[in-house]
Amino acid sequence: MLLGLRQAAGAQEIYAGRYKAVFTSVPRKVPTSKTPDGPLAGNGDIGLTLGGNPDKLRFYLGKNDFWRAYPVYPGGGIALPGWLEIDIPALAGAGYYAEQIQDKAEIAARFTKGNLAVSVKTWVSATTNTVVVELGANEACSMQFALKAAEGNTSVNAEGNDAGTHWVTRSFENTPLLAWPSHVAMAVKVIGTKPESGGSVTLTPNSKVTLAVTIYSNHDAKNWKQKAITEAKTMTPATITRLQKDHQGWWAKYWGRSSVQIGDPFLEKYYYASQYLFGATSRAGKFAPGIWGPFITKDSAAWGGDYHLNYNYQAPYWAAYSSNHIDETDNFDKPLLDYMESGKRHAKELLGINGIYYPVGIGPMGLVTTRWPLTADEMEKRYASRENTIDGGLKFLGQKINAVFSVGNMLMRFYSTYDAAYARRVYPYMRECANFWEDYLKFENGRYVIYMDHYNEVMPNLKNKGQWRQLLGDFNSTLSVGLVKMLFKGMIDVSGFLNADQDRREKWEHIVKHMSQFTVREVDGKLSLKGVETSPSPIHSGVEGLARVSIHGLVLPGGVCGPVTDSAFNQVLLSDVGRWKDKMKGPGEWANTLGNGIETCFPAVVRVGYDSDEVMKQLTDRINRQSLPNLWITAEGGGIETLAAVPLTINEMMMQSYEGVIRIFPNWNRRKNARFDHLRAYGAFLVSSGLQEGKIGSVKMLSEAGRPCRIENPWPGHSVQLLRNGKKAEHLSGKVFSFETSRGERLELISH
């Protein structure tokens, strides 16, 4: 029998502990400008990537807040603070074995050569700015260690020693166009032995040597350098013991927030690995992660490691809402809010309208990361055009929708929590998006239409030889129509919740009601979606059927289509998904997600009702086709966005709520046992249930916000007993139940 998450007498089973990543060879993609393949650990701010050979180990240390705040990449973007080197000459040619232990959030390695065996355990403290490396050996051997700050790219470096604690710093400051300075300090102390001159240590049997590395930036503290040095100097064995206890406690709470069990060890492994990597990547109160999270192993990461706003920045968070990891999404909004004044200026200066208009890429603290090259010569070299003043010198790439993309995440969190403080925080941003689109939309022939907002990025490049303007002119892109409809539906809901802008709701309701319909055409006797209504671009006008970009507007994050919203149109989408197999040339190519879109396409087709067994098969093939030993599923065009793919796909099979109705096992083979605990539904409900031998057990819910509940009858044709706080209450019947709830009320549905 499948067991759920157990909490009794202080004991807790962490189901994620059944799975770990295993490495039997040296990482090959460390360092890299994209996704590393080595063992990973992190605390949502600091990321540790283990690279190197057994005799020359390299612990690369990235940090979400260490940026070269320069508006052009390469050169600008997130930067590498540095690394810890550990050289053990006796391990030259040794065997390599390491584990990424995800429930404990640590890396455990063992390197063997002949009779010599050296063990290494490392973890990034979940509660402090500390990285711990513990080493032991069964035979005496020498070890050399050094802490290094990355150099170059206009950085200024320094190093020193303070009473046996070695420290290094790296700074970006006082260079042209730098938006703000960044400084980082790292300090290391050896615990368990006294190092010899030059950082030499002897490992001996039955003893342990610990290296504690503290890392602080000027965004952490004004006294960033001294803080790193002081904390390292005062490290003791007792300090490490306390940090480890706090670390394990944090991760135990993280895993306790939700769980799923589906009887498929392969997909469960990637489910929990993705949850682990996201927990290691993002944290409340810290800078939001860029494309590669904190797992930075060199400067000039691809796309500057920035916040790419036409889905890459938003996608990593999508599974966190239903997985009940709300705290880890709390850093999402700040970069968007910080850029608002610039966004208003772009809208006025470039389009002559109100609201906010965002380029394709931004960074933290109001930074723009996507300026065209600063010289015409460099522009020509990279883009086959000397015109580096397009759109005021910034990359909008023909898309007006970038700011609205993020409203999807804001609405996911709002509907999932009904948190008034959060709604007040993001409402000004949403309202500025509404201001923009009220001005930009055209009302023609009884409908609102969208000109010149493009299905894909349109820009000069080496292929079109500067003739890119011939591709401009998309009319009613599915992406634009869907996201704008999402925006105004959300404005109605959030403004009503906050009792704000009552005088504007009539206009917003008119837009939602009269927004252009999605364009369809007949293909092989069946209706099929078109990517755009019309376009001069053969690429855009030739997009037929449901695809990743359309899904963004319609289903995820758009949420304006589905089996409840419009069952007839939903059948069009299902028919399109049925054609995906026809386009495959080999395993793993279903939905065309090798480049981008695994986190979009797979959960979306679950939402619209495509066969769950087929989705799981195709998802397994896709993972096998393109993933790394650290269980990070890779895509050519992005990094941490893929961490949402498996969790959200499975969560949507277990429970759905995005159309305002909670559905239990809405798209799951009822012959397969499964269980989920504490998944978060819209309406701020935490929901748990199980399926055993074809029968759904009781459905338990906690109402966090006291919202009305609408839930599809999990037992069609049967009446249901509702229990409130353990006591019998209403009898319910029908296809969909609706009942009021109270804040903090525990509810249970039991079939008669």
pLDDT at 301 over 60: yes
Calculate helix-pair angle for 598-608, 645-654, nearest 10 degrees: 10
pLDDT in tens, 303-317: 999 999 999 999 999
Per-residue pLDDT at 13: 75
What is the rounded average pLDDT of the residues 656-661? 95
How many other CB atoms are there within 10 angstroms of residue 198's CB atom? 8
Tell me the backbone φ, ψ of residue 417, rounded to 5 degrees. -125, -30
Query: For the residues of 585-647, what is the DSSP string, one character each?
Result: SSTT-GGG-SSS-HHHHHHHHHHHT--HHHHHHHHHHHHHHSB-TTSPBPBTTBSGGGGGHHH
What is the rounded average pLDDT of the residues 416-432? 98
Q: Which residue type does 366 have? A: G
3-state secondary structure of 41: strand
Taking the C-alpha atoms of residue 598 and residue 624, their distance in angstroms, rounded to an integer, is 13
Strands 674-681 and 685-692: antiparallel
What residue segments make up the domains of the chain, in order of their start? 20-259, 306-661, 664-751
pLDDT in tens, 120-178: 999 999 999 999 999 999 999 999 999 999 999 999 999 999 999 999 999 999 999 99
Taking the C-alpha atoms of residue 127 and residue 699, their distance in angstroms, rounded to an integer, is 35
pLDDT at 8 over 80: no
Strands 526-529 and 532-534: unpaired
How many other CB atoms are there within 10 angstroms of residue 596's CB atom? 20
pLDDT at 3 over 80: no
What is the rounded average pLDDT of the residues 710-723? 97
The radius of gyration of the chain's CA atoms, rounded to the nearest angstrom, is 27
What is the rounded average pLDDT of the residues 506-533? 96
pLDDT in tens, 391-414: 999 999 999 999 999 999 999 999
Per-residue pLDDT at 11: 38
Tell me how far apart the terminal alpha carbons of the chain are, to the nearest angstrom: 23
Taking the C-alpha atoms of residue 203 and residue 591, their distance in angstroms, rounded to an integer, is 52
What rounded mean pLDDT belongs to the chain? 96
pLDDT at 603 over 70: yes
Are 355 and 430 contacting, i.e. CB atoms less than 8 angstroms apart? no
Per-residue pLDDT at 422: 98
Cα atoms in the Cβ-side hemisphere of radius 13 Å centred on 421: 1
Cα atoms in the Cβ-side hemisphere of radius 13 Å centred on 126: 21
What is the rounded average pLDDT of the residues 642-664? 97
Which residues are within 8 A (CB) of 544 and not within 5 positions of it... i.e. 6 or more apart? 521, 523, 528, 529, 530, 531
For residue 492 the two structure tokens come to: 């109605």
Taking the C-alpha atoms of residue 223 and residue 226, their distance in angstroms, rounded to an integer, is 6
Which residues are within 8 A (CB) of 438 and not within 5 positions of it... i.e. 6 or more apart? 354, 355, 507, 511
pLDDT in tens, 257-288: 999 999 999 999 999 999 999 999 999 999 99
pLDDT in tens, 444-458: 999 999 999 999 999
Domain covering 664-751, topology: Immunoglobulin-like (2.60.40)
What is the rounded average pLDDT of the residues 570-580? 96
How many other CB atoms are there within 10 angstroms of residue 447's CB atom? 14
CATH number of 306-661: 1.50.10.10
Taking the C-alpha atoms of residue 164 and residue 590, their distance in angstroms, rounded to an integer, is 57
pLDDT in tens, 523-533: 888 999 999 99
Of residues 184 and 544, the one with the higher pLDDT is: 184
Which residues are within 8 A (CB) of 10 and not within 5 positions of it... i.e. 6 or more apart? none
pLDDT at 7 over 50: no
Owner of token pair 């939602």: 512
Strands 116-124 and 67-68: unpaired
Alpha-carbon torsion angle 13, 19, 24, 26, nearest 10: -90
> Which of 520, 512, 340, 346 has its CA nearest to residue 431?
340
Give the CATH class of 20-259: mainly beta
Taking the C-alpha atoms of residue 288 and residue 308, their distance in angstroms, rounded to an integer, is 12
pLDDT at 6 over 50: no
- How does residue 12 score in pLDDT terms, banded at 50, 70 and 90? low
Quote the Cα angle for 582-583-585, to 5°.
105
Is residue 707 classed exposed, middle or buried when 0-12, 13-18 and 19+ CB atoms within 10 A define those classes? Answer: middle
- How does residue 466 score in pLDDT terms, banded at 50, 70 and 90? confident
pLDDT in tens, 25-67: 999 999 999 999 999 999 999 999 999 999 999 999 999 999 9
Tell me the backbone φ, ψ of residue 682, rounded to 5 degrees. -60, 145
Of residues 510 and 466, the one with the higher pLDDT is: 510
